[in-house]
Amino acid sequence: MLSVKIELLAALAHALEQLLPGAGAKAAFESPKVAAHGDLATTAAMQLAKPLKLNPRQLAESLRAQLLAAAAFGRWVEGIDIAGPGFINIKLKPEAKQQIVREVLAQGAAFGSQPANGHRMLVEFVSANPTGPLHVGHGRQAALGDAICNLFQSQGWQVYREFYYNDAGVQIGTLASSTQLRARGFKPGDPAWPEQAYNGDYIGDIASDFLARKTVKSDDRAFTASGDVEALDDMRLFAVAYLRHEQDLDLQAFGVKFDNYYLESSLYLSGKVDDVVRQLHDAGKTYEHDGALWLKSTEYGDDKDRVMRKGDGSYTYFVPDVAYHITKWERGFEKVVNIQGTDHHGTIARVRAGLQAADVGIPKGYPDYVLHTMVRVVRGGEEVKISKRAGSYVTLRDLIEWTSKDAVRFFLLSRKPDTEYTFDVDLAVARNNDNPVYYVQYAHARICSVLAAWGGDVASLPPADLSPLQSPQAQVLMLLLAKYPDMLSAAAADFAPHDVTFYLRELAACYHSYYDAERILVDDETVKRARLALVAATAQVLHNGLAVLGVSAPQKM
């Protein structure tokens, strides 16, 4: 049907071009708001009525006549109706809808994907400082970031995944001192235990392994403990490596892998932060006031100027962010997306202002941001706030162990990132239709069981004759399959993987309705093969959509 739509769109563009030169480039179809009105619709007559100084309804009638005379419309269109002030509703012939079955089965896992476009993008996500296990907020970032990467890869982008973290600073110092206290035999609740120290059981585990002189390895570093309780710097390096290893285990359990780990400390060691400050100063974009160095960020849309260097000589946290994003641009990433919590909203304007003030060719609006809210976890009808592992929050690994990787990914992607979300652990493990990931996966497994019962070679599908696919349920299912590529493209453009979850739930429901309406393994070979081809195509699209989310498509449940 995609090929059919392309033919019809070309015919529409030709007709519009005849009415008004240049209008053909704007030819487009949309889905009618009411399914009974047709399969495709266009508002072209209403859009052209004003420049042509014609009544939109009369223009629609004229355009209808031109379209009916076109060969593509004669081949694939059953009828064209005019509604309201000039809506043009198009009803396709059954054979037009049936083409999607062939297209899905021919393209397989590539269905919905676009060819490589030569563009590079970087997505930075999770980016947790190595001071503790990953919490459920990091899990939402991991699910969002990985799914957005998959969406853009499906649209032909070359995508690079990056994890940025601070391996120095106050929090890392607190980590080291907390570990040293545990190594000396102190624990949370003791009179000598500082209020700001980290309290989780994992601090005791780090201290024990440090005293045992163990070696820890993570994706980006390795360190062997000296066992010397007085060697605070050694303890800091060991604790960072230990927690980076723990984070790697969390990410592996979640099926997320990064291409690179970028250290904030490297920006200082390489002189990039000082270079940016000098660059902004030389460009006249800074000034001194009250002993601090300020950026003229109001010149670039910020609500007030921002301090870059405080009176004590230290830089505020957005300055290395500016340096970091310049490195992204210099590395050839024309599009950059940052996945962060909503508490980072205030940094957007100042980082973009710094990048514009640096005047290195970075376009306005760079980088893009996807901000997400935190996640509440409910189990047994009550909110869970504390993890023994972390001491003060529920970890990503807790959530995976309580449910599954698939459930955590699907659930965390099932709402817009900036909306509040409550993760219901009991629902995530339920094996019923109220559990959305179970509902979608069960549809896929149900189709696989039908294909297994048939026992034939799926590669031999589809048959030459798809004409038996005439029922209303079959036609609705085929139309929905045809919407997958456009849905995928729109979800990428809007950074909206939740749209994929909505689509998959709708597709699963549509398949279940079809299964209940028509028996597939009938005696008539022609009918049976046509129906098998349809459900095999449905399984393929379910598989493809779940893969975008990083969720498995089981063959048995």
Radius of gyration of the chain (CA): 29
Confidence class for position 460, pLDDT limits 50, 70, 90: confident
* Residue among 65, 166, 63, 104 nearest 542 (CA): 104
Distance CA 199, CA 492 (A): 40
Q: Is the dihedral of CA 52, 53, 57, 62 positive or negative?
A: negative
Higher pLDDT, 153 or 199: 153
pLDDT reported for residue 97: 94
pLDDT reported for residue 463: 75
N- to C-terminal Cα distance for the chain? Answer: 32
pLDDT reported for residue 335: 97
CB-count burial class (<10 Å; 0-12, 13-18, 19+) for 11 = buried
Q: What are phi and psi of 489, to 5 degrees?
A: -65, -45
**425: its two tokens:** 């652990």
Distance CA 391, CA 175 (A): 14
Distance CA 312, CA 256 (A): 40
Q: Cβ distance 45 to 60 under 8 Å?
A: yes
| Number of structural domains in the chain | 3
Distance CA 429, CA 425 (A): 7
Which of 92, 112, 134 finishes a domain? 92
Q: Cβ distance 160 to 121 under 8 Å?
A: yes
* DSSP E strand boundaries for 149-198: 158-165
pLDDT reported for residue 458: 87
Q: Is the dihedral of CA 130, 131, 134, 140 positive or negative?
A: negative
Distance CA 273, CA 266 (A): 9
Determine, yes or no, domain membership for 120: no
Flag whether pLDDT at 387 surpasses 70: no
* Residue among 147, 256, 35 nearest 504 (CA): 147
Angle between the 345-358 and 272-282 helix axes, to the nearest 10 degrees?
A: 70
**556: its two tokens:** 């048995």
pLDDT reported for residue 390: 57
* Residue among 28, 26, 41 nearest 81 (CA): 41
**461: its two tokens:** 């599908």
> pLDDT for 266-294, tens place per residue?
999 999 999 999 999 999 999 999 999 99
Determine, yes or no, domain membership for 332: no
Q: What is the CATH number of the domain that holds 41?
A: 3.30.1360.70
Determine, yes or no, domain membership for 196: yes
Distance CA 233, CA 256 (A): 31
Determine, yes or no, domain membership for 41: yes
Flag whether pLDDT at 490 surpasses 60: yes
Q: Write out the H or E segment, with its range, that includes residue 223.
A: strand 222-224
Instruction: Answer yes or no: do 399 and 461 share one domain.
Output: no
Distance CA 356, CA 362 (A): 7
Instruction: Answer yes or no: do 437 and 425 share one domain.
Output: no
pLDDT reported for residue 364: 93
Instruction: Answer yes or no: do 185 and 162 share one domain.
Output: yes
Please give the C-alpha separations between residue 123 and each of 135, 197, 387, 507, in angstroms, as whole numbers.
20, 32, 29, 29
Determine, yes or no, domain membership for 303: no
Instruction: Answer yes or no: do 160 and 231 share one domain.
Output: yes
Determine, yes or no, domain membership for 295: no
Q: Write out the H or E segment, with its range, that includes residue 125.
A: none
DSSP letters, 419-433, are S-EEEEHHHHH--ST
Instruction: Answer yes or no: do 160 and 260 share one domain.
Output: yes
Q: What is the CATH number of the domain that holds 239?
A: 3.40.50.620
Q: What is the CATH number of the domain that holds 508?
A: 1.10.730.10
H helix intervals, 222-296: 232-253, 264-269, 272-282
| Cα–chain center distance at 69 | 43
Instruction: Answer yes or no: do 175 and 218 share one domain.
Output: yes
Distance CA 394, CA 384 (A): 7
Determine, yes or no, domain membership for 498: yes
Q: Write out the H or E segment, with its range, that includes residue 83.
A: strand 77-83
Domain that holds residue 8: 2-92
Mention every residue, 6+ apart, whose C-beta is less than 8 A from residue 127: 141, 163, 164, 165, 340
Instruction: Answer yes or no: do 53 and 155 share one domain.
Output: no
Instruction: Answer yes or no: do 417 and 443 share one domain.
Output: no
Strands 292-295 and 286-289: antiparallel
Instruction: Answer yes or no: do 58 and 144 share one domain.
Output: no
> pLDDT for 178-196, tens place per residue?
999 999 999 999 998 999 9
Which of 393, 413, 429 finishes a domain? 429
DSSP letters, 62-79, are HHHHHHHHSHHHHHHEEE
Distance CA 24, CA 44 (A): 10
Confidence class for position 391, pLDDT limits 50, 70, 90: low
Taking residues 387-396, report their average pLDDT: 72
**214: its two tokens:** 């163990």
Q: Cβ distance 318 to 306 under 8 Å?
A: yes
Instruction: Answer yes or no: do 450 and 409 share one domain.
Output: no
Taking residues 550-554, report their average pLDDT: 98
| Cα–chain center distance at 503 | 14
Mention every residue, 6+ apart, whose C-beta is less than 8 A from residue 334: 119, 120, 121
Angle between the 2-19 and 44-52 helix axes, to the nearest 10 degrees?
A: 10
Which of 74, 92, 110 finishes a domain? 92
Task: Please count the other Cβ atoms lying within 10 Å of the Cβ belonging to residue 288.
Answer: 10
Flag whether pLDDT at 461 surpasses 70: yes
Flag whether pLDDT at 155 surpasses 90: yes
> pLDDT for 302-355, tens place per residue?
989 999 999 999 999 899 999 999 999 999 999 999 999 998 898 999 999 999
Distance CA 458, CA 555 (A): 14
**46: its two tokens:** 């209403």
Distance CA 126, CA 495 (A): 16
Mention every residue, 6+ apart, whose C-beta is less than 8 A from residue 234: 210, 225, 226, 228
pLDDT reported for residue 28: 92
The conformation of residue 316, written as its DSSP 8-state character, comes to P
Structure pTM?
A: 0.91
Quick check: bond before 462 cis, omega within 30? yes
> pLDDT for 22-71, tens place per residue?
988 889 999 887 778 889 999 999 999 888 888 999 999 999 999 999 99
Q: Cβ distance 296 to 287 under 8 Å?
A: yes
Instruction: Answer yes or no: do 145 and 178 share one domain.
Output: yes
Q: Cβ distance 94 to 465 under 8 Å?
A: no
**530: its two tokens:** 């046509």
Determine, yes or no, domain membership for 422: yes
Instruction: Answer yes or no: do 387 and 243 share one domain.
Output: yes
pLDDT reported for residue 459: 85
